[in-house]
Structure 1
Amino acid sequence: MYIDIPRPSSLPPDSDKEPPPHLSGSDGCEHHDTVRTLRSLKGWGSSTKHLANQLVIEVPVNSYKHVKKIKGVGSAHRETKHFSSTTTMHGPKRIFYGKGVARAFWVLIVGLALAMLIFQIVVLLQMYFSKPTLSQVSFIVNEGGMDFPAVTVCNFNPIKKSYVRELNASGDLTGATLEYLLQTNMDAMFVFSNLDRNNLKQTHDEAETYFQNHTDFQIIKFLRTAGYDCGEMFLTCYFGGRRFDCCKYMKQKVTSLGKCWELDLQNLAPEWMRKQISPGSESGLQMIVDAQLEEELRGEDGDANAIFSDIYENGFRYYIHPPGANAELTSEGISVSPSRTVYSAIKTISHNLLNRKNWGNCSEHWPERYDTFLSYSASACRALCIAQYFNDTCGCAPFTYNVDGKKKICAPYESITCMDNHMLRKLNGTDYLELPDCTECHMECQSTSYTSYNSYGDGFNRGSLEWLKKISNKTETHIKNNVAVINIFFLEMFYTSYSQVQATSLTEILSDIGGNMGMFLGMSVITITELTLFFSKIFWIMFSKRRRQYMYSKKAHEKEKEQQLDDAVKEFQERRSRRNSRENISALSNYSNRIVPLEEFQKKFAYKNGNSMDNLSSTSLDSVIELKFDINELRRQLNQQSSDGIARIRLPTQTTRPNSTNMDNYSSGPPIFTIEPLSRKSSQTPSPPIRGPFYQSSK
């Protein structure tokens, strides 16, 4: 190869300065994958750098400069590296491969994300295990009609005057004793708060004397027979405009008001009477009742005096309640006086609660220690709980709490004495009764209640009086003083259902946790599996020597295979690179026979690579042959020689290359190239170069 360098007319001012260090050829050649690169570098400052041009010819021998040195890592490090490279979790890869500030930054970010994730999971789990519930309101339409409730009707007059006369045929039943007997079914709290203890003790002794004289007397039998019969109290009934016999579908009940009658259309009546198919009073139930006030005790003609309990009016009290339920415990009751008409528009409300297994607190069955035939309800359970407390303490139970009738009924004086001696407590100077809490009596899981909207009409018109006289054979005066009309009907053909539902579920909690895992760390079930496997492997390595030995041998085997593969690739690329380098350099020597060599020139411009052959290892390769020289210095030398400014790069016909696989047997050979100044006036055949110290450039 020949390089034509024109002779300058004059040298630059700094031509005598030494070339910069990076042009001296002692800093080693760089790695390039190109076959040939010719570049001219210019320009460094006049004060600090030399103004120079550099002509570089680079011929690659191998595309690899060196082999990356891999530090030995332990088994745990190896597993961590593998996990960081393959996991679907965000962050570990950036932390593992990060350096310095970048690693600290990602550790901080991942740490904050992990803290937020843990916080969110704790909050979600706390909410889940607190078992939250919600109320769901539904409006349910029954296309076939609304199931009609049961109706219990009671007369405010608990005892007939005719029955008292019959009972007192012997003449030993005094008015005080009769009043004492009627106080038996009064509310125990009313008796405790209002009755005089001294008078009550006296009447109790009189009643005991009467019981001794009449051993067949029973208080329950007395209450059941003292009141009005069904035929005496009900004149007629209608349902949906059709007349029917009330007493045919009624059953007797004893309440705090005495003898009452319950109309149970669902269980006793025919199918057409069980449902109301359209709203309004015309489609509902109508009952015409007779108070029979002439049977009321007035203290006349030697009869007992009128008895006051806690009722102030004449007439009736009726309860609208579910079939089979205790009327007084499940309904407040509605009152109507004689000569009045009442309209009760009702709405059905259903409550569906969750039991304990489903995050609720309701009960579907009676507690274990309760043995009763009644359907479970919270009010009935509490009544029986208090009845059991009275029975255990005093040997009897008040009538109002003994709802199933299985315990002995306390007389009024027995109830007061029991409460005074065993249940009365003082707090801040105030007396109060200490009764059991009955915490085992939870709300029933399913209950139905009826809300009524009542309106009243006073008196009867002439037409209604004539009609009532006709169907009852009663006088007009009797009708005006005793008869009342009760209308019960559905206001609308749907009911409201309140359902207690779980505020969350396991599926929702898992979804929320999964969403937070994905948002903060990009985690999923697959990531959890990866973490589980990773930590199991780490613990296995920590506690298993056999596992550590296996990982070490596996690593050594993989390194050996990798080294063999690298050696094979390097050998192939070395051969290809050297062949291409020789061809490229030879292609540049087309200017032979044009110039003649100039002696002493090779001493100045002979090039030596900084990496000597002594420093080569078995893994080093000759990759680039590089020629660097200072253009200004070359011009100066050419001006001093008898040349036309022409230099020649000369290649040997055959070069000896080192064996990369056996560097110990390598010996220096002839130089790879020489530089000679030539003159165009000289012979076309260049003179042989002067023998001298030549240097082999390799990298």
Structure 2
Amino acid sequence: MNKEIRRNSITKELKKWSKKTTITGIPKITESKGLITRILWTCIILVFLGIVCEKIYSLLFDYFRFNVTTRIKLVTEKNFTFPAITIKLINWLNFKNYKKHFRTISDYDEFISVSDNLDLKETFQISKNNFVSSYLLLDSSYSSNLEIDTLNSSIFSCYFNSIKCDLGDFEFINSSGDGAQLKIGLFKNTEGKFGKNSGLSLEIFTGSREFQSPVSQEAGLLVFIHDSDRVITNDDHGILVSPGTHTNIEIHKTRIKILPQPSNKCADQSLRFVLEDESLFNETIQLTGTYSKEYCFELCYQKELIQNCGCYDEKLVKYKNKNSNIPSCNDKYDISGFKKVAKSPKYYLSYEDYLISCPSLIKEAFYTGDYVSKCGGLCPKECNYEQYSTLVSKSNYPSRDYEKILKKKNKGNTKKSILSVNIYMDSNEFTLIEEVLLISLIDLISELGDNLGLFLGLSALSTFELIDLSIKLTTVFVTTKINDYWKKIKQISKLETKSNQRKVPHLVTNEKEYKTNEQKAKHFGTILSETFSEQKETWFDNEHKMMGDDLVQEKASELFVTQPNDDEFDDKIDFDELENALKTINKKAAPGPDKTQTNI
């Protein structure tokens, strides 16, 4: 009955909705009088419903792939920050002071002669790096004071936004084997100055030719433009500034924002996805203070060297401190001729032998083989970073008149030993390249609405109609269920009430308990029988006694045995008082069966 009521209520709500809904196809089905028309409209709606389902599946599939698109725009900064500038002096040590470390120049001539001309440049670089790293920087006479003194004498003039700067504005970075690095700190361009007459202007003395390294092919300096928290690695490409030139470097900033997971596997200070091995990621942050993919790759290369060759590349100075018990590859595979093995004499490792040595083979395999893809999985790209593109122009420097002024300051042959560089921002605008979701949540809702409206005639109002219908149907279903439940509760309650009205408590007498109704009835009958059987009067003959016993048993059975047993009824009463009452009745009963029957 209740199911029928519920079914009728739901049917009634559906009929009311079908007549008033704004979904155009539904009223056509319910209001059409012809069977063929109803079937036709039903088929049309089912076909369009199938198309909509396919469209919805496609949209949801594309949305949860989290595909991205790139958006590029120019953004204006009122107060922008000047990037960090790192300058690497190629020939910053006075080799005249270290000539004692060379046996003879002929040693270098012999070293050069073992190599082909095609390999000459790389040979020079290897020799220079090994020599400077292994001997000059480890020489006990070498100190940081020498570095500062050398650099202080190298900077001829320094201005930022026409304000004079000095060595205190620079940070010296020891870069073993590759020349000294000067990192000039952040300058807050609070006035938003840009253009050729603003920025950093330097005049640097690179040293006289006779003091430069005899195995160096280059003279001048390298300029690196980067974020302040980024560390320059050996794979970074700087701008070469040569002596005798004035170099203008125009900077344009590009800010790149990459969407993190699930769109991309990128990382910043906090890793947003799980790597197979996070040791390189964590160590990069520990050593540099920030995460850099390039530096992470350097550590990955260093790790392969240590595992395969048992030595490290000492160009990564910070990593060297973590591996103090591991020798450098320059010491283990020396090519310069200055390596000592116990007390044995010095020896040379030919360039051909060096090329087939472990470090050389690992380096070649690392940059040409599967190591790049392997390290790529351990060194994710950054999510947010800035790049700086440059436009470089040069002119002769110094002019004839300015050269005379420099010569008066004892700068010697200025054309061959001094250079000028001007670094500035092109404008207060930067290019913003950012990834955005190809399908955002709003786009997904709009696309779903377009398809539902085109094929089924649904609108935003129709959606609320469906929600309203769902609420009404749910209310009908829940209400009928609740009513059914309460009806059952009431029925059970009535039955329990009737049963409880006729229940008899447990009986206890002489420390014996009678639980069931049958036990109670028998005990009650026994007491009554024993009570009246004690009469001595002559009128109470056996016949009357039997009649009394039958009467007691009959009444007791009607009162107790016909009642349902209730073993869980816990209230207990003492039967002694009842027994005493019956004995009192026996004593006070008058002779004769009439009065006895009356008392019973």
SS at match of 2:237: coil
Asked whether the equivalents of residues 423 and 433 of structure 1 are also in contact (C-alpha less than 8 Å), the reply is no
Taking a change above 3 Å as real, the CA distance of residues 226 and 283 of structure 1, as seen in their structure-2 partners, is: closer
Amino acid of the residue matched to residue 402 of structure 2? Answer: S
Any gaps of 5 or more consecutive residues in structure 2? 113-117, 334-353, 489-600
* Structure 2 counterparts to residues 109-148 of structure 1, below 5 A: 109-144=44-79, 146-148=80-82
- 2:275 corresponds to 1:332: no
CA distance in 1, matches of 2:56, 2:477: 26
* Structure 2 counterparts to residues 55-70 of structure 1, below 5 A: none
The match for 2:94 among 160, 166, 183 is 160
Taking a change above 3 Å as real, the CA distance of residues 82 and 149 of structure 1, as seen in their structure-2 partners, is: closer
Taking a change above 3 Å as real, the CA distance of residues 432 and 285 of structure 1, as seen in their structure-2 partners, is: closer
- 2:147 corresponds to 1:232: no
Taking a change above 3 Å as real, the CA distance of residues 380 and 224 of structure 1, as seen in their structure-2 partners, is: farther
The match for 2:329 among 403, 410, 414 is 410
- 2:454 corresponds to 1:519: yes
The TM-score normalised by the length of structure 2 is 0.60
CA distance in 1, matches of 2:12, 2:361: 82
CA distance in 2, matches of 1:351, 1:446: 6
- 2:315 corresponds to 1:385: no
Match of 1:361 in 2: 265
Cα displacement (A) at 1:262: 2.2
1:494-548 CA distances to partner (integer Å, 9 max, x unpaired)?
222222222332233223323433333344433443665698799999x99979x
The match for 2:219 among 306, 314, 318 is 314
Asked whether the equivalents of residues 343 and 455 of structure 1 are also in contact (C-alpha less than 8 Å), the reply is yes
SS at match of 1:356: coil
Cα displacement (A) at 1:92: 3.5
CA distance in 1, matches of 2:210, 2:98: 10
Asked whether the equivalents of residues 152 and 260 of structure 1 are also in contact (C-alpha less than 8 Å), the reply is no
SS at match of 1:283: coil
Taking a change above 3 Å as real, the CA distance of residues 261 and 250 of structure 1, as seen in their structure-2 partners, is: farther
SS at match of 1:115: helix
The TM-score normalised by the length of structure 1 is 0.52
Match of 1:464 in 2: 402
Taking a change above 3 Å as real, the CA distance of residues 263 and 390 of structure 1, as seen in their structure-2 partners, is: closer
CA distance in 2, matches of 1:119, 1:192: 66
Asked whether the equivalents of residues 110 and 521 of structure 1 are also in contact (C-alpha less than 8 Å), the reply is yes
Taking a change above 3 Å as real, the CA distance of residues 498 and 256 of structure 1, as seen in their structure-2 partners, is: farther
CA distance in 2, matches of 1:179, 1:413: 18
SS at match of 2:202: strand
CA distance in 2, matches of 1:113, 1:224: 83
Any gaps of 5 or more consecutive residues in structure 1? 1-72, 181-189, 299-305, 551-699
* Structure 2 counterparts to residues 298-309 of structure 1, below 5 A: 306-308=214-216
CA distance in 1, matches of 2:149, 2:119: 24
Asked whether the equivalents of residues 329 and 359 of structure 2 are also in contact (C-alpha less than 8 Å), the reply is no
Asked whether the equivalents of residues 304 and 362 of structure 2 are also in contact (C-alpha less than 8 Å), the reply is no
The match for 2:250 among 339, 342, 345 is 345
Taking a change above 3 Å as real, the CA distance of residues 108 and 283 of structure 1, as seen in their structure-2 partners, is: same
SS at match of 1:342: strand
Amino acid of the residue matched to residue 231 of structure 1? Answer: N
SS at match of 1:452: strand
Amino acid of the residue matched to residue 125 of structure 1? Answer: L
Asked which structure has the greater RCO (Cα within 8 Å, sep 6+), the reply is: 1
Asked whether the equivalents of residues 93 and 150 of structure 2 are also in contact (C-alpha less than 8 Å), the reply is no
Match of 1:394 in 2: 309
| CA-based RMSD | 4.8
- 2:381 corresponds to 1:443: yes
Cα displacement (A) at 1:156: 2.5
Asked whether the equivalents of residues 320 and 331 of structure 1 are also in contact (C-alpha less than 8 Å), the reply is no
CA distance in 2, matches of 1:403, 1:354: 31
- 2:428 corresponds to 1:493: yes
Match of 2:17 in 1: 86
Match of 1:572 in 2: none
Cα displacement (A) at 1:178: 13
SS at match of 1:455: strand
1:569-610 CA distances to partner (integer Å, 9 max, x unpaired)?
xxxxxxxxxxxxxxxxxxxxxxxxxxxxxxxxxxxxxxxxxx
CA distance in 2, matches of 1:288, 1:113: 76
Asked whether the equivalents of residues 92 and 206 of structure 2 are also in contact (C-alpha less than 8 Å), the reply is no
Cα displacement (A) at 1:386: 2.2
Asked whether the equivalents of residues 293 and 380 of structure 2 are also in contact (C-alpha less than 8 Å), the reply is yes
Taking a change above 3 Å as real, the CA distance of residues 224 and 93 of structure 1, as seen in their structure-2 partners, is: farther
Asked whether the equivalents of residues 173 and 183 of structure 2 are also in contact (C-alpha less than 8 Å), the reply is no
The match for 1:510 among 423, 439, 445 is 445
CA distance in 2, matches of 1:287, 1:313: 20
Match of 2:347 in 1: none
Asked whether the equivalents of residues 384 and 402 of structure 1 are also in contact (C-alpha less than 8 Å), the reply is no
Asked whether the equivalents of residues 351 and 448 of structure 1 are also in contact (C-alpha less than 8 Å), the reply is yes
Taking a change above 3 Å as real, the CA distance of residues 487 and 194 of structure 1, as seen in their structure-2 partners, is: closer
Cα displacement (A) at 1:125: 0.7
Q: Which moved more, 1:485-494 or 1:159-168?
A: 159-168
Q: Name the larger-Rg structure.
A: 1
Amino acid of the residue matched to residue 236 of structure 1? Answer: S
CA distance in 2, matches of 1:397, 1:80: 81
- 2:200 corresponds to 1:285: yes
Structure with the higher fraction of residues in helix conformation: 2
Taking a change above 3 Å as real, the CA distance of residues 141 and 424 of structure 1, as seen in their structure-2 partners, is: closer
Amino acid of the residue matched to residue 240 of structure 1? Answer: N
Asked whether the equivalents of residues 240 and 276 of structure 1 are also in contact (C-alpha less than 8 Å), the reply is no
* Structure 2 counterparts to residues 28-39 of structure 1, below 5 A: none
1:365-393 CA distances to partner (integer Å, 9 max, x unpaired)?
36632322311122122222222232233
Cα displacement (A) at 1:340: 1.0
Asked whether the equivalents of residues 202 and 421 of structure 2 are also in contact (C-alpha less than 8 Å), the reply is yes
Cα displacement (A) at 1:351: 1.3
Asked whether the equivalents of residues 320 and 327 of structure 1 are also in contact (C-alpha less than 8 Å), the reply is no
Cα displacement (A) at 1:448: 1.6
Asked whether the equivalents of residues 72 and 434 of structure 2 are also in contact (C-alpha less than 8 Å), the reply is yes
Q: Which moved more, 1:322-331 or 1:451-460?
A: 322-331
CA distance in 2, matches of 1:179, 1:348: 45
- 2:181 corresponds to 1:261: yes
SS at match of 2:357: helix
SS at match of 2:229: coil
Asked whether the equivalents of residues 177 and 315 of structure 2 are also in contact (C-alpha less than 8 Å), the reply is no
Cα displacement (A) at 1:159: 4.4
Asked whether the equivalents of residues 224 and 254 of structure 1 are also in contact (C-alpha less than 8 Å), the reply is no
